[in-house]
Amino acid sequence: MTVCPCCSAALPADDVVRVDLDGGFIVANATVARLTESEFNLFLTLWGAKPRMVSKEQLMAKAYWLRTDEEEPNDKIIDVFVCKIRKKLAPLGVTIDTIWGRGYRIIASGRVPE
């Protein structure tokens, strides 16, 4: 039995994808995916737009909106974040599709609550 990392309650074994906004994790199939704060913010941007695509520029703006220095971060960092998020979400049946040259979108094979 897998338990919730926050409250130690048993996790549901169904395929419903649940996003815990307070805990910063995602649950499906009795599996928990823990994301860093930056990864979780980018995930929420993609999750909120599903099934639509989110451009790399939109993701950059979300990731670096508080940045105060003049140096512009390399946009390849978004590719790195997406790669890390993909690995963590794969066991949950959630994938991130690449729309080549444009951006990304989330596809959930599990059920998504309304």
Tell me: the pLDDT tens digits for 3-52? 666 666 666 666 678 888 888 888 887 788 999 998 999 999 999 998 89
d(CA 40, CA 68): 21
d(CA 51, CA 64): 23
Structural domain of 56: 36-108
Would 58 be classed as within a structural domain? yes
The number of helices, as runs of H, and strands, as runs of E, in the chain is 3, 6
Would 102 be classed as within a structural domain? yes
Would 47 be classed as within a structural domain? yes
Half-sphere exposure of 72 (CA within 13 A, CB side): 6
Tens of pLDDT, residue by residue over 40-70, are 999 999 999 988 999 998 998 887 765 555 6
Q: Give the pair of three-digit tokens for residue 114.
A: 């309304």
> How many independent structural domains does the chain possess?
1
Signed CA dihedral, 58, 78, 20, 48: sign only: positive
pLDDT at 87: 96
Would 68 be classed as within a structural domain? yes
Q: Is the pLDDT of residue 72 over 80?
A: no
